[in-house]
Amino acid sequence: MFRATISGIGVEIPEARITNEELVASFNSWVDKENDKRAAVGEPPLKKSDQEFILHASGVRERHVLMLDGILDPERMAPRIPARDDSELSVMAEFGVKSAKRALDHAGLTGADIDMVICAASHHQRPYPAMGIEIQNALGIDGAAFDMALGCSSAAAGLHVAFNLVRTGAQRRVLVVTPEIITGHLNFRDRQTHFIFGDASTAMVIEGLDEDEQRPGRFEIVDTRSWTQFSNNIRTNFGFLLRAGQEDTAFIDMEGNMIKQVGNKVFKEVTVAGHKFIVGFLAEHGLTPHGIRRFWLHQANARMNAMILKLAFGHEVGQDRAPTVLERLGNTAAAGAIVAFKENHEDMKTGDYGLICAFGAGYSIGGALLRMM
Ligand code: COA
């Protein structure tokens, strides 16, 4: 068995951002118009969204989006991302390549040094050719690539696979790329979910180490873990059979086929499962939460993370122990925990442990126990 490190991390955050105030104004203006139509036919009115509720319930203040155009327009409420010709680099691959280049620079490597690409994200632009292969091609990487999807645990699951490929010697250097364009599949007319998500792309280089090799400032991957249990509480029904399931195959109705979630059930069930996962995974390594210098948790909900940590520690822990980035980015699906990791590790000391732990649809949870070299 080989040892392995995360030798490079790259993050790409799009420039455009939307505050809660802007998002709620757009939503409520659509509700006003919709309610006029409903009143005319005697239907009950839709409820408005509220920025104070959003901040209190989720902790999110604003989110960055790949394409602002169209999202806040009450007539559209979806990003306008022009379709590209098949000969052009596709939107998702382009987003992934940006974070991948940063990860390669951080690792001091080029595409020629990588022998596998895993594109691990909650949504893929198309089934084939795999997004990973397009990213591989754009970066001039020899070897192989494939796609993986496991909701918000996708990056952690990609890391789990990459780590095991590297430690068995099957691959030398694996690039795990997570371009999350979740606004493309978000129903901005759904009061329950319209405020939750934002876009971000991350990448990590997982690299084998020689027997006694040390890389100061980098983390050795001690172990990774994955857990899943079926739940319908976060679900999308969008897929290739949608067309075949409808009477009128020329028209695909997106209503009901975007992200939906029973937020409060997810909150309760995943908080309990997340706590259990963390304590169990650490115990396998003779550790308790108190022995972990920093937690990089999934960035869905500030209250949820606080609760998981309170259960683990028996008391509240602050930003230094478990930093959040969701206030300014929203829930960036599988990218969130990796953004928190990238932005909050440079002060850590040799021997310090850190834990990446992501959770989400599936249900799924993925963890990586790291130790600073
Ligand atoms: N504006 C104003 N009020 C809203 C609202 C909005 N946008 N959305 C919901 N509400 C209302 C509800 O109608 C409900 O009102 P009622 O009690 O009068 O019926 C009330 O707020 C509470 O709704 P609830 O769904 O229980 O809210 P919550 O406190 O659970 O917060 C989430 C909602 C989505 C922020 C929260 O459940 C969450 O983050 N869950 C976990 C999500 C997650 O981790 N996903 C996994 C990864 S993707």
Q: Over its length of 373 residues, how does the chain's per-residue pLDDT go in tens digits?
A: 999 999 999 999 999 999 999 999 999 999 999 999 999 999 999 999 999 999 999 999 999 999 999 999 999 999 999 999 999 999 999 999 999 999 999 999 999 999 999 999 999 999 999 999 999 999 999 999 999 999 999 999 999 999 999 999 999 999 999 999 999 999 999 999 999 999 999 999 999 999 899 999 999 999 999 999 999 999 999 999 998 888 887 777 888 889 999 999 999 999 999 999 999 999 999 999 999 999 999 999 999 999 999 999 999 999 999 999 999 999 999 999 999 999 999 999 999 999 999 999 999 999 999 999 9
Count of C-beta atoms within a 10 Å radius of residue 133: 18
Residue 356 lies in a domain: yes
Amino acid at 319: Q
CB 112 within 8 A of CB 142: yes
Taking each continuous run of H as one helix and of E as one strand, the counts in the chain are 9, 13
Helix (H, G, I), strand (E, B) or coil at 321: coil
Measured from the CB, is residue 135 less than 6 Å from ligand 1? no
Tell me which residue has its CA closest to atom 6 in ligand 1.
Answer: 49
224: containing domain: 219-372
Rounded CA-CA distance 310/301 in Å is 14
Burial of residue 52 (CB within 10 Å: 0-12, 13-18, 19+) is exposed
* Residue 123, in any domain of the structure: no
Contacts of 42 (CB under 8 A, 6+ apart): none
Is 326 part of any domain?
yes
Q: Is 186 in the pocket of ligand 1 (CB under 6 A)?
A: no
Separation between Cα atoms, residue 10 and residue 339, nearest integer Å: 9
Q: Is residue 256 part of a domain?
A: yes
Question: DSSP string of 59-112?
Answer: ---EEE-S--TTTS-TTT-S-------TTSPPHHHHHHHHHHHHHHHHHT--GG
In a domain? residue 200: no
Q: Is residue 247 part of a domain?
A: yes
CATH number for the domain including 292? 3.40.47.10
- CA-closest candidate to residue 288, choices 296, 297, 280, 299: 280
pLDDT at 248: 80
* CA proximity to 299, closest of 100, 118, 68, 58: 58
As given in the structure block, the two tokens for residue 161 are 């696979």
Provide the domain count of the chain: 1
Residue 27 Cβ inside 6 Å of ligand 1? The answer reads no
- pLDDT reported for residue 55: 97
Per-residue pLDDT, 291: 97
* Cis previous bond, 353, omega within 30: no
Q: What pTM did the predictor assign? A: 0.96
- State whether the beta carbon of 56 lies less than 6 angstroms from ligand 1: no
Ligand 1 atom 44: the closest Cα is on which residue?
Answer: 300
Q: What integer pLDDT is reported at residue 151 of this predicted model? A: 97
Contact assessment for residue 156 and residue 359, using Cβ atoms and an 8 Å cutoff: no
Whether 321 is covered by a domain: the verdict is yes
50 lines ligand 1 (CB under 6 A): yes
- Which candidate, 86, 159, 94, places its Cα nearest to that of 368? 159
Specify if 146 maps to a domain. Answer: no
Top mutation candidate among 261, 277, 308, 359 for ligand 1, by most atoms within 8 Å of CB: 261
Strands (E), the chain: 3-12, 17-19, 62-64, 116-120, 144-148, 173-180, 200-209, 219-228, 234-235, 260-261, 294-297, 353-360, 364-372
- pLDDT, position 246: 84
Question: What does the alpha-carbon distance between residue 148 and residue 174 come to, in Å, rounded to a whole number?
Answer: 14
Q: Active-site residues: which are they?
A: 152
Best residue for ligand 1 mutational test, from 192, 305, 324, 332 (most atoms within 8 Å of Cβ)? 192
The reported pLDDT for the residue numbered 249 is 74
